[in-house]
Amino acid sequence: MDYDYKTLKEAGKVSYAALEYSRSVIKPGVSLLDAADKIEKFITDKGYAFSFPTNLSANQYAAHYTPDVDDKSVFGERDLVKVDIGARKEMCLTDCAITIDLSGANQKLIDASDAALSNAISMIKAGVHVRDIGKEIEKTVSAKGLKVIRNLGGHGIEQDELHADVFIPNYDNGDETELEEGQVVAIEPFVTDGAGYVEEGESLQIYQKIDAVSLRSREARAVSEYIDQNFMTYPFAVRWLIRGLPNLGDFSVRKGIAELLYAGTLEPFPVLVEKGRGMVSQSEKELIVEKDSCTIVTA
């Protein structure tokens, strides 16, 4: 199947616009739930679906934090917020992120992840080794007295598959894999003043259906059917299910999710927490690899 670059670029523009819109939404005192709803509405109002739920991961949370349907938390005046989003059109998936500093005290982290991303992008072309991209990212970050997160990184993106084949590290991991002309990739440096690794936290609000199995309960069958009809194999948020199945109710939806998870038909995406509880910044863009350079999709 030939990559539909035209549709991909159109989705990329919407994703970038949504990121810029998020800057006006994410303010101290604003609820995370309200911010996520507004960002997602911005995307759907333009006729697009989602590559994955809006991630609003603050401070030591590096990724995968999206609010629950009854989340009461609000942004604080000292929060460092990673906004990671993606608009989807048909099978074309986009993925991009920025970091917003509500305190004004963490600009050094943002500058480091932005510079690492910029320097990495300047290297992207067919034939470049992924280890060399990672080497440049870590070199840029280390020069600013900070660390990359070593167990997170960029990735390939295929039509209908958000995390595909190639992994693009944030340090020199020795991988001699070469980027290929026409390949679509996401570059995403994660920078921290902590330990440089993430671990799974307790919050779990994002899942992805990966298999079909026989289900016993009415609740699980209803939840499974709703996922198939609305999200297919794309990641979804628990709040989307609860709002979409009002007749089933909050408790029964969560019970159905638990049965699906136990049956092995769901892949969970728990929140990722910086191991040393350091602050984390993320910068991400999606690119099309060309013979001698690249084209930024999320621009």
Q: What is the pLDDT of residue 214?
A: 81
Distance CA 82, CA 115 (A): 16
Burial class (CB in 10 A: 0-12, 13-18, 19+), 14: buried
CATH topology of domain 5-201+271-296: Creatine Amidinohydrolase (3.90.230)
Residues in the chain: 299
* CATH of 206-268 given 3.40.50.720, 3.40.50.970, 3.40.50.300, 1.10.10.10: 1.10.10.10
Q: What average pLDDT does the chain have?
A: 96
Q: What is the pLDDT of residue 11?
A: 98
Mean pLDDT of 106-132: 98
Q: How far is CA 15 from CA 12, 51, 298, in A?
A: 5, 10, 6
Q: Which two tokens stand for residue 1?
A: 């199947």
Distance CA 30, CA 63 (A): 20
Q: What is the pLDDT of residues 120-173, one digit of tens each?
A: 999 999 999 999 999 999 999 999 999 999 999 999 999 988 999 899 999 999
190 contacts 259 by C-beta, under 8 angstroms: no
249 contacts 219 by C-beta, under 8 angstroms: no
- Active-site residue list: 84, 95, 155, 163, 188, 284
Q: What is the pLDDT of residue 219?
A: 92
Count CB atoms within 10 A of the CB of residue 19. Answer: 20
Domain ranges of the chain: 5-201+271-296, 206-268
Pairing of strands 49-50, 87-89: antiparallel
